[in-house]
Structure 1
Amino acid sequence: MKIKIANSLIGILGLLLIWELLYLFISSPVIPAPLATCVLFFEKIPELIPHTLMSLYRIVVAILVSLLIGIPLGIFIGANQLADKWLSPILYYIYPIPKVAFLPVFMILYGLGDLSKITLVIWIIIFQIILSARDGVKQMDPNWEKIMFSFQARPFMRFKHLLLPAISPHIISGLRIAIGISLASLFFAENYATTYGLGYYIMNAWSVIDYPDMFCGILALAFLGFFLFKLTDLLGKRLIK
């Protein structure tokens, strides 16, 4: 536990050192002084909390829906050769498309509220979850499945003791990638038709040329990502023995 805390502190100090060097060498008001900005960040916490909670809500809902849909679909594609033959090529065509371009479509279909933004994030990350689950099933040793059949294991037991342990490392890796992508896509989505969210907060500060306040929003976004990554690590320890 102490080692993990020390590693986190080293990461924060390293980030502050890089920030300080950029501040000294670039010498531009666009990059404010790190220590002064950190002091301002703590003063702005009451103002930042509602924006952070709104962004967290949108990301968590999008990730949960993506997991609930993506994992079963990925398992189905990985376990069924016919489904893999017909559906995998479709995934390969859709996955590389820059899906943020669909935000206007979702805003027309679902309005200007949270639903359109959450739907965009789901549309962006669900393919990562599907492919991660599919690859986990396809890389599983076929002999394990034969052993389960020979013991006449029920479907739930096969899922609990075979499929879930086999796909868990792939799901956790995919989830880490999905978190980074979801933060980037949510930042884009929160620039439109909203008054809450870290994306809105950062761009609003930029529009009034308040760079220290803008960096406070960036720091809040970084801490949000750090929190989600740590949560993913805890989940991985529970699932991956």
Structure 2
Amino acid sequence: MEVKAEKKTGKTGVNGSPKNSPGSMLLRLLSVFIVLHVLWGLIAALLQRDMLPSPLVVYRALLELDGGEMLLNIGTSMGRVFAGIALALIVGLLSGLLMGRSPRWNKLLDPVVYLTYPIPKIALLPVAMLFLGLGEASKIVMIALILVFQVIISVRDGVKAIPANTYDVLTSLGAGRMAKFTQITLPGALSSILSTIRISLGTAFSVLFFTEIYGTEHGMGYFIMDAWLRLDYPGMYAGILLFSGVGFLLFVLVDLFEHRFMKWRA
């Protein structure tokens, strides 16, 4: 009875609610949000500079933004991000599965991955623009380059980490290759993919910001830089807040996807 009581106490908070419940998570996020805004307000009050307006000024500017224009900017940026992620997942998943399941392909592709992975991808932005132009293709390819190598390595290692006897169990039940792939290989790879996407999203957004400075009239990166050049600091910070909010929503979507399709990791 004592052991059971200890286990139950370890899973719940002081008030008896689960420590990892949505309500508890929301409370922690709200607390951090308030603390950051208090610090922001204090620093703005101490500096008294136009370049750092107070939170109230920025949120007033946020409410005054053109809704249609901002939806176009956000939609353009999200289209580029999703296209880049999709391209990286297609190439990375196929390559990682091939390397994880085939020692021959792993020996062939391993040196290629390890020689090209350390190259700073942002340095390839001028090269991508020279070959692909200033349009959508170069922006999407740059985002894909940020993600694809991490996806390949994570999927390969995730597939390799699956014990061989796990497949033997399904083999003894008469399962075919497709059943083994959907029941064992894909869940093992999916776990690595979600972790990689969660880690790489911040870098992908940074690259997106740089790519949207050139050759475009829409996108959150373009909007923020345009406001900066016009010395519209409240508008610039309002754009940064929107950009950050979109990134936060993508993190939440990844968590929801994991909760929906990978309940076994709970």
Q: Report the TM-score when normalising by structure 2.
A: 0.84
Amino acid at match of 1:35: L
Corresponding residue number in structure 2 for 1:41:
62
Secondary structure of the residue aligned to 1:107 is helix
Say yes or no: does 1:20 pair with 2:41. yes
Residue correspondence of structure 1 range 111-130 to structure 2 within 5 A: 111-130=133-152
Q: Report the TM-score when normalising by structure 1.
A: 0.93
1:168–1:239 Cα contact (<8 Å) kept: no
Corresponding residue number in structure 2 for 1:66:
88
Q: Among residues 179, 186, 202, which one is paired with 2:224 in the alignment? A: 202
Q: Among residues 163, 169, 179, which one is paired with 1:157 in the alignment? A: 179
CA shift, 1:174, in A, is 0.2
Structure 2, unmatched stretches of 5+, are: 1-21
- The structure having more radius of gyration, on CA atoms, is 2
Corresponding residue number in structure 2 for 1:233:
255
What are the Cα deviations for residues 41-94 of structure 1, in whole angstroms up to 9, with x where unaligned? Answer: 122151322111110110011111211221121111111112222322321221
RMSD of aligned C-alpha atoms?
1.7
Amino acid at match of 1:3: S
Structure 1, unmatched stretches of 5+, are: none
Task: Identify if the C-alpha distance between structure 1 residues 222 and 56 changes in structure 2 by more than 3 Å, giving closer, same or farther.
Answer: same
Task: Identify if the C-alpha distance between structure 1 residues 153 and 18 changes in structure 2 by more than 3 Å, giving closer, same or farther.
Answer: farther
Task: Identify if the C-alpha distance between structure 1 residues 139 and 14 changes in structure 2 by more than 3 Å, giving closer, same or farther.
Answer: farther
Secondary structure of the residue aligned to 2:209 is helix
1:77–1:134 Cα contact (<8 Å) kept: yes
Amino acid at match of 1:203: M
Distance in 1 (alpha carbons) for counterparts of 2:205 and 2:61 = 23
What are the Cα deviations for residues 132-166 of structure 1, in whole angstroms up to 9, with x where unaligned? Answer: 11111111122112222232311221111101222
Distance in 2 (alpha carbons) for counterparts of 1:64 and 1:226 = 19
Residue correspondence of structure 1 range 181-192 to structure 2 within 5 A: 181-192=203-214
Structure 1 residue ranges (4+ consecutive) displaced by more than 6 angstroms after TM superposition? none
Give percent identity, aligned residues only: 36
CA shift, 1:218, in A, is 0.5
